[in-house]
Chain A
Amino acid sequence: MARIIVVTSGKGGVGKTTTSAAIAMGLALKGHRTAVIDFDVGLRNLDLIMGCERRVVYDFVNVINGEATLNQALIRDKRCENLFILPASQTRDKESLSIEGVGKVLNELSENFTYIVCDSPAGIERGATLAMYFADDAVVVTNPEVSSVRDSDRMLGILASKSRRAEMGEEPIKEYLLLTRYAPQRVKLGEMLSVDDVQEILSLHLLGVIPESKAVLNASNSGTPVILDEKSDAGQAYYDVVRRYLGEEVPHRFLDEEKKGLFGRLFRG
């Protein structure tokens, strides 16, 4: 049986797809057979972030409708043989996803994979609710910003009431906080919510903090999950996240401002 992880947030643009790509690649690099699914039907982008947009032949909806087999639709990553991508359909609408269809595909994937990462679309409509419905674990991606924190809390409410685990009365979904686009220097100036503030408001287990980083745009420009940029702060932070998720004790990094030289200190900002 695979472990199903949903990457969710409610609000758009906070880094769900970046996170899905990074975590899926990280788990695969750690030797686990991993599939990552794009649930954003009509607005697919995971393929682009993963750098496999030109290899998409069949998609998630084709598999649900029986127009293609799972093996035909899954794209094997060229950098890591343990990683497979199931792209979303670009031409259909969100109503093409049904709870039975999604359940069937996840079941079939479960037989051959250890982890299934579900990249949720923004919002609380069908794609988003189905991405989380079958989840065992949820990574709630949040920016240190009021609307994102509020939306994350809203998602926590939905995770706790409208998931399969909630409906079956099983053990609840494990929820993790992933704070992204964190700028320690702005936190220090009192301009940005701190990681402690966000944690206090949401009372969630902290999986990691990803610093605001140029590496993220560079990675998406080239279709490489940022976790593969081992020299970058964001890449290292995502690698820590994966290790923590797998149960390793890893101290949090990038929470404080990096030390600057005299020149940088004088002319900062």
Chain B
Amino acid sequence: MGLLDYFRSSRPATASIAKERLQILVAHERAERNKPDYLPMLQKELLEVIRKYVNVDQNAISVTMEQDDNREVLELNIVLPDEGERKRAHRP
């Protein structure tokens, strides 16, 4: 430390903030680009099949792929409409 440093106001160490932000961002962006490219197609076709039986919303389905060191998890999430809407949908 130089003598003048003692008179400076203590600034936060911004490098550690940068590192933390980058670690999160890079992990997220890597996960995004490692996604198999069939996911959007898979999502579209699944939605078509499900809509044959249940009147779900276009955005009611999400397909995600997660990876860690020794396994890959394909997660499929479908939000079913509530009871009232379902009955309405089944009425001829």
Interaction A to B: yes
Minimal beta-carbon separation of A227 from chain B (angstroms): 29
Scan residues 14-28 of chain B and give those whose CB is less than 8 A from a CB of chain A.
14-16, 18-19, 21-23, 25-26
B73 at the interface (CB under 8 A from A): no
Tally of contact residues, A, Cβ under 8 A: 24
The answer on a CB contact under 8 Å between A194 and B15 is yes
**Residue B30 contacts which of A157, A191, A265 (CB distance < 8 angstroms)?**
A157
The 0/1 profile, CB within 8 Å of B marked 1, for residues 132-152 of chain A is 000000000000011001100
Bound Cα distance A136, B16 (Å): 34
The answer on a CB contact under 8 Å between B15 and A201 is no
Minimal beta-carbon separation of B33 from chain A (angstroms): 5
Tally of contact residues, B, Cβ under 8 A: 20
The answer on a CB contact under 8 Å between A146 and B18 is yes
For residue B16, which residue of chain A has the nearest CB? A190
Binds A, one of B2-10, B63-71, B84-92: B2-10
The 0/1 profile, CB within 8 Å of B marked 1, for residues 176-211 of chain A is 000000000001011111100100111000000000
Consensus secondary structure, chain B interface: helix
The answer on a CB contact under 8 Å between B3 and A265 is yes
Chain A residues with CB under 8 Å of B5's CB are 268-269
Contacts A146-B21, A157-B30, A157-B33 given; indicate if A191 touches B4 (C-beta within 8 A). Answer: no
The answer on a CB contact under 8 Å between A268 and B30 is no
Please name 5 further chain A to chain B contacts, defined as beta carbons within 8 Å, in addition to the given A153-B30, A190-B13, sorted by A numbering: A157-B29, A190-B15, A197-B15, A201-B23, A266-B2
Interface residues of B (CB under 8 A from A): 2-5, 11-16, 18-19, 21-23, 25-26, 29-30, 33
- 21 A-B Cβ contacts within 8 A? A149-B22, A150-B29, A153-B26, A153-B29, A153-B30, A157-B30, A157-B33, A190-B13, A190-B15, A190-B16, A192-B15, A193-B22, A200-B19, A201-B22, A201-B23, A265-B3, A266-B3, A267-B2, A267-B4, A269-B4, A269-B5
